[in-house]
Amino acid sequence: MCVTIEKLSVENIEELIEIARDSWKWTYACIYSFEFINHWIDENYSRERLLNEITRAQSDRDIIFLGSFVKSKLVGFIELKTEADRAELLRLYLKPEYTHRGIGKLLLLEAEVIMKKKGIVQCRLLVHQKNNIGKSFYEKNGFEVKDIDADHIVMEKKLQSIKNI
């Protein structure tokens, strides 16, 4: 399977929303109600919000927003917010049928290359305590548990900047 990782464009918004909805239903069905999931997607994946974040990422500002494509079809995405030498991983989702194929790892590795070039030395994320798939994935990819925040686990990964190399 040939996977490419590219910056997302406005043409990807509908596919992004579909992936988010499918992934949330698959990942969080035993954690949240169907109504909560739909409300969350509607609020956090509005076209206007995604357009703003894609535009910021394309202008190489404080957002890294990448998609994974198989045969030019979007199958997953990662989004990070950067500030100074730190980043927060906001989203990493795949269509359920594309999980466990190394695509999430490819997205994360490409994002790490970009972060290192920007001088980012630490990446942080929150993962729901009951999201065993997510916790396992992040631990396998070098993230360590740093704290518990209500229903979420705070995880961090140290990166070595290559900004001035």
Q: pLDDT tens, 3-16?
A: 999 999 999 999 99
The answer to whether residue 94 sits within a structural domain is yes
**Is residue 165 scored above 60 in pLDDT?**
no
User: 155: exposed, middle or buried (C-beta count within 10 Å: 0-12, 13-18, 19+)?
Assistant: buried
61 band by pLDDT with thresholds 50, 70 and 90: confident
Structural domain span for residue 15? 3-158
The answer to whether residue 90 sits within a structural domain is yes
- CATH code assigned at 116: 3.40.630.30
The answer to whether residue 23 sits within a structural domain is yes
The answer to whether residue 163 sits within a structural domain is no
Provide the domain count of the chain: 1
The answer to whether residue 36 sits within a structural domain is yes
The answer to whether residue 105 sits within a structural domain is yes
pLDDT at 156: 97
**Is residue 160 scored above 90 in pLDDT?**
no
The answer to whether residue 164 sits within a structural domain is no
Distance CA 1, CA 119 (A): 32
Residues 6, 67: contact at Cβ < 8 Å?
yes
The answer to whether residue 165 sits within a structural domain is no
Active site residues: 138
